[in-house]
Amino acid sequence: MAAQTSAKSLLHLSSSSCPCFGTSKQSNLIKLRKTQVGFEPRGLTQHTKPIKVESLSLSHKSGIRVVVVEERKKKWEVKCTAEGIERGVLMGRRGRDEAVAAAKVLVPERFKVVALMACVMCLCNADRVVMSVAVVPLATKFGWTNSFLGIVQSSFLWGYIFSSVVGGALIDKYGGKRVLATGVALWSLATLLTPWAANHSTTSLLAIRAFFGLAEGVALPAMGIILSRWFPNHERASAVGISMAGFHLGNVAGLLLTPIMLSSIGLTGPFILFASLGLLWLSTWTQVTNDPQESQFISKSELRLIQDGKTDSSVSDGKFPPIRLLLSKLPTWAIILANITNNWGYFVLLSWMPVYFKTVFNVNLKQAAWFSAVPWGTMALSGYVAGATSDYLIKAGINLTLVRKIMQSIGFIGPGVSLLCLNFVNTPVHASVFITIALSLSSFSQAGFLLNIQDIAPQYAGLLHGISNSFGTLAAIVSTIGTGFFVQWLGSFQAFLTVTAGLYFMSTIFWNLFATGERVF
């Protein structure tokens, strides 16, 4: 009886404060009817227009919470719906706070994940590039030859080649969040210690750079796994494009900021900056989860969109990965050869571009940094374009295998032709144009072999990425050291660039013969 009496209590509302309850300037009397879950207003219609609420206060009477809207001088805006008001009446302050919080959620959770991923990929590459610029004054200080310079440049890859496979397997087992966070912490520490190691001894420098590579080896496999779980298939290429755009912008940041900080602060400046940014990023990574189903912040509609957009499971069954089986299929070797080719060309340009402009065109370090930075900036944009184009073709119903082959062919033929054209340029501006074209088109590989790893082996994508990355890293070591010997013995970059172009063309043929977008494992 007390509840029934309370149900007939008056809910005093000002219509100018909340139009959800009518339009009369007089206070309206609202009757409540009993339901299975409590009491709700009778005859109310839902409104979603922004309204001004003077204030909200709660009073208790006979166990029923009543919301009273009173006039105050301070005003704020909320969204008012019949459902929201009902929940506020039944649940009190908690329900009201949840309704207001829900109204403020505008950015989907998966977009936050890809933004953080783009930031850490930017740091990942910036930390690499710092050494590519700093190695020029270091070589002058310690009297290093070009051949030994290639060894210093490649030392990062010595650790990188080992962590790719192990890191990929750990990611498949434990998820990308924890493994990536550990990697960021370790490579930030290695970055911080690099100047000390360089001043201590050459052996210390090589050791700390190898440790740096060991920590960074988990970054790309972790990115692939996390994005494959957080994005539906028709958005995955765009998500990878955004993350890799951050990766390439890391080149720009490293190439432009490092010379400035070297000249103004000294050798330690850029290393301290990027190490500190890595530790700062770690503080923002804590709320991200391995899988969207584990997230406390994702909405039901977004989770449903992600789950409906997947055609296969990417969760490992916990069994030991079938490495022999993985290596027995030609689509696996198509990915491995593509990774070899991509890393060969990428690391030649990444490690030697500043030296190339200084040696061939006799430009100073700051000018070389600007000429080197422009191609990476355009590569960031073209990588997103490649991803968006790939997603568009898939949504349009184009066969997935054909899409992967188109993207990868553009990513290899374009750079191959551009590198051949470098044999005929006479100015740093023209060289920068062709290198820009080469790197911009090579970013289409992100929508080719990089995504194809998840296509053919979703349960073992981390391990397969690690295996292919290890082969690619070995190729990067050979190309980075080989460039140094070519320059020292032949006095020319052109011969090595021609060899690289030939590798691009050969890999394109192999890819189109054996690659597939269908699940193999």
Task: Give the pLDDT of residue 480.
Answer: 78
pLDDT in tens, 260-276: 888 888 888 899 999 99
Q: Which of 279 and 29 is assigned the larger pLDDT?
A: 279
- Strands 56-61, 64-69: parallel, antiparallel or unpaired by DSSP? antiparallel
pLDDT in tens, 229-242: 899 888 888 999 89
* Contact partners, residue 101, CB within 8 Å, separation at least 6: none
**Model confidence band, residue 367 (pLDDT cutoffs 50, 70, 90):** low
Rounded to 10 deg, the angle between the 219-230 and 449-456 helix axes is 60
Count Cβ atoms below 10 Å from residue 422 Cβ, excluding itself. Answer: 20
Q: How far is CA 411 from the centre of its chain?
A: 20
Task: Give the pLDDT of residue 39.
Answer: 45
Lowest mean pLDDT among 92-96, 164-168, 328-332: 92-96
DSSP labels for 433-462? Answer: HHHHHHHHHHGGGGGTHHHHHHHH-GGGHH
Task: Give the pLDDT of residue 479.
Answer: 84
Task: Give the pLDDT of residue 145.
Answer: 80
pLDDT in tens, 45-72: 444 444 444 444 444 433 434 444 444 3
**Helix, strand, or coil here: 68?**
strand
DSSP labels for 476-506? Answer: HHHHHHHHHHHHHHHS-SHHHHHHHHHHHHH
Closest listed residue to residue 245, CA positions, set 390, 376, 340, 153: 376
pLDDT in tens, 200-256: 888 899 999 999 999 998 898 899 889 988 998 888 889 998 998 898 888 888 888
Q: Is the pLDDT of residue 77 over 60?
A: no
Per-residue HEC secondary structure of 415-430 comes to: HHHHHHHHHHCCCHHH
Count Cβ atoms below 10 Å from residue 301 Cβ, excluding itself. Answer: 9
* Contact partners, residue 192, CB within 8 Å, separation at least 6: 271, 272, 275
Looking at the chain, the number of H-run helices and the number of E-run strands are: 19, 6
Q: How far is CA 465 from the centre of its chain?
A: 16
pLDDT in tens, 93-124: 555 455 444 444 578 899 999 999 999 999 99
Residue with tokens 């009518």: 22
- Strands 76-79, 50-53: parallel, antiparallel or unpaired by DSSP? antiparallel
Task: Give the pLDDT of residue 12.
Answer: 42
* The token pair that represents 414 in the structure block: 């374009």
Q: Which of 352 and 270 is assigned the larger pLDDT?
A: 270
Cα–Cα distance, 205 to 132 (Å, whole number):
14
User: Which ranges of 143-267 would DSSP assign to H, the alpha helix?
Assistant: 146-174, 176-200, 202-216, 219-230, 233-264
Cα–Cα distance, 390 to 444 (Å, whole number):
9
Element (H, E) at 66: strand 64-69
Task: State the chain's mean pLDDT as an integer.
Answer: 77
Q: Which of 9 and 486 is assigned the larger pLDDT?
A: 486
